[in-house]
Amino acid sequence: MKNYNKYKRLYDWKRPNERKWTDKEITKAPIWCSVDLRDGNQALAIPMSLKDKIELFNYLVSIGVKEIEIGFPAANEIEYQFARCLIENDMIPKDVTIQVITQAKKEMIEKTFEALKGARKAIVNYYNSISKKQREVVFRKDKEAIKQIAVIGAKTMVECSNKYSNTEWQFEYSAESFTNTEMDYAIDVINTVLKEWKDKTKLKPIINLPATVECSTPNIFADQIEYICENIKNREDVIISIHTHNDRGTANASAELGLLAGAERVECTLFGNGERTGMSDLVTLALNLYVTGVDPQLDFSQIKKAKFVYESSTNMKVPPRQPYAGELVFTAFSGSHQDAISKGLKYIKDNPNDYWEVPYLPINPEDINRQYEPIIRINSQSGKGGVAFILETEFGYEIPKIMQNEIGNYFKVITEKNEKELSNDEIYSKFSKEYKNRCDTIKIKKYKSKNAGNLTIIDLEYTINGEVKNRTKSGNGPIAAFIELLKDEGYECQVINYIQKSLNENNEKSEVVTYVKIKSKDKYIWGIGQDSDATKAGFKSVTSALNRMIKEEQNI
Ligand code: KIV
Ligand code: ZN
Dump pLDDT digits (tens) for 162-216.
Answer: 999 999 999 999 999 999 999 999 999 999 999 999 999 999 999 999 999 999 9
CA of 373 to the centre of ligand 1 (A): 41
C-alpha to C-alpha distance for 556 and 554, rounded to whole angstroms: 6
Most confident residue range from 3-12, 149-158, 340-349, 395-404: 149-158
C-alpha to C-alpha distance for 150 and 424, rounded to whole angstroms: 61
- Ligand 1 nearest-atom number relative to CA 245: 1
Looking at residue 508, its pLDDT comes to 59
Looking at residue 548, its pLDDT comes to 97
Higher pLDDT, 493 or 415: 493
Looking at residue 53, its pLDDT comes to 97
Numbered ranges of CATH 3.30.160.270 in the chain:
442-555
Looking at residue 505, its pLDDT comes to 55
Phi, psi for 499 (deg, rounded to 5): -125, 125
Site to substitute for ligand 1 among 33, 42, 245, 246, most atoms within 8 A of C-beta: 245
Instruction: Give me the CATH code for the 442-555 domain, please.
Output: 3.30.160.270
- Ligand 1 nearest-atom number relative to CA 177: 3
**32-87 tens-digit pLDDT:** 999 999 999 999 999 999 999 999 999 999 999 999 999 999 999 999 999 999 99
Report, as an integer, the average pLDDT of 296-309.
97
Percentage with pLDDT > 90 across the chain: 85
Higher pLDDT, 156 or 554: 156
Site to substitute for ligand 1 among 35, 37, 39, most atoms within 8 A of C-beta: 39
Which helix (DSSP H) or strand (DSSP E) does residue 53 occupy?
helix 50-63
pLDDT exceeds 50 at position 437: yes
Report, as an integer, the average pLDDT of 17-31.
95
Looking at residue 374, its pLDDT comes to 43
CA-proximal residue: ligand 1, atom 5 (nearest): 176
Reduced to 3 states, what is the DSSP secondary structure of residue 36?
helix
C-alpha to C-alpha distance for 353 and 370, rounded to whole angstroms: 21
Higher pLDDT, 101 or 505: 101
Percentage with pLDDT > 70 across the chain: 96
CA-proximal residue: ligand 1, atom 6 (nearest): 174
| Contact predicate 189/220, CB 8 Å | no
Report, as an integer, the average pLDDT of 218-232.
97
CA of 244 to the centre of ligand 1 (A): 9
pLDDT exceeds 70 at position 377: no
Looking at residue 288, its pLDDT comes to 98
pTM to 2 decimal places: 0.78
Looking at residue 376, its pLDDT comes to 57
Report, as an integer, the average pLDDT of 20-43.
98
**C-alpha distances out from residue 378 to 242, 361, 438, Å:** 43, 18, 24
Looking at residue 337, its pLDDT comes to 85
- Ligand 1 nearest-atom number relative to CA 176: 3
CA of 140 to the centre of ligand 1 (A): 20
Task: Return the number of other C-beta atoms located less than 10 Å from residue 418's C-beta.
Answer: 12
Looking at residue 372, its pLDDT comes to 52
Numbered ranges of CATH 3.20.20.70 in the chain:
14-314
Site to substitute for ligand 1 among 212, 245, 246, 275, most atoms within 8 A of C-beta: 212
* Whether the CB of 243 sits within 6 Å of ligand 1: yes
Report, as an integer, the average pLDDT of 432-444.
97
DSSP string, 116-142: TTT-SEEEEEEEEE-SHHIIIIII---
CA-proximal residue: ligand 1, atom 3 (nearest): 212
C-alpha to C-alpha distance for 190 and 185, rounded to whole angstroms: 9
Residues 6 or more apart whose CB falls under 8 angstroms from that of 226 comprise 15, 19, 20, 21, 261, 262
Smallest CA-to-CA distance from 456 within 477, 471, 473 is with 477
Which three-class secondary structure string do you get for 349-399? HHCCCCCCCECCECCCHHHHCCCCHHHECECCCCCHHHHHHHHHHHHCCCC
Which helix (DSSP H) or strand (DSSP E) does residue 211 occupy?
strand 206-211
Which ligand lies nearest the alpha carbon of 72? 1
Q: Which range has the worst mean pLDDT, 175-189, 225-239, 365-379, 517-531?
A: 365-379
Which three-class secondary structure string do you get for 386-446? HHHHHHHHHHCCCCCHHHHHHHHHHHHHHHHHHCCCECHHHHHHHHHHHHECCCCCEEEEE
* Whether the CB of 208 sits within 6 Å of ligand 1: yes
C-alpha to C-alpha distance for 41 and 192, rounded to whole angstroms: 31
C-alpha to C-alpha distance for 287 and 295, rounded to whole angstroms: 9
Higher pLDDT, 338 or 223: 223
Reduced to 3 states, what is the DSSP secondary structure of residue 339?
helix
Quote the mean pLDDT of the chain.
94
Q: What angle do CA 529, 531, 537 make, to 5 degrees?
A: 40
pLDDT exceeds 80 at position 334: no
Gyration radius from the chain CA atoms: 34
Looking at residue 379, its pLDDT comes to 66
Task: Give the bridge partners for 127, in sequence order.
Answer: 103, 174
* Whether the CB of 11 sits within 6 Å of ligand 1: no
Q: Which range has the worst mean pLDDT, 84-93, 111-120, 326-335, 520-529?
A: 326-335
CA of 462 to the centre of ligand 1 (A): 80
Report, as an integer, the average pLDDT of 138-148.
98
Residues 6 or more apart whose CB falls under 8 angstroms from that of 351 comprise none
* Whether the CB of 38 sits within 6 Å of ligand 1: no
Phi-psi region of 453 (alpha: psi -120 to 50; beta: other; left: phi over 0): left
CA of 366 to the centre of ligand 2 (A): 33
CA of 163 to the centre of ligand 1 (A): 27
Smallest CA-to-CA distance from 241 within 265, 221, 257 is with 265
**262-286 tens-digit pLDDT:** 999 999 999 999 999 999 999 999 9
Which ligand lies nearest the alpha carbon of 178? 1
- Ligand 1 nearest-atom number relative to CA 213: 1
Reduced to 3 states, what is the DSSP secondary structure of residue 101?
strand
* Whether the CB of 210 sits within 6 Å of ligand 1: yes
User: Which fold would CATH assign to domain 14-314?
Assistant: TIM Barrel (3.20.20)
* Whether the CB of 404 sits within 6 Å of ligand 1: no
CA of 74 to the centre of ligand 2 (A): 17
Question: DSSP alpha helices (H): ranges in 132-265?
Answer: 132-133, 143-163, 183-197, 218-231, 251-260
Which ligand lies nearest the alpha carbon of 274? 2
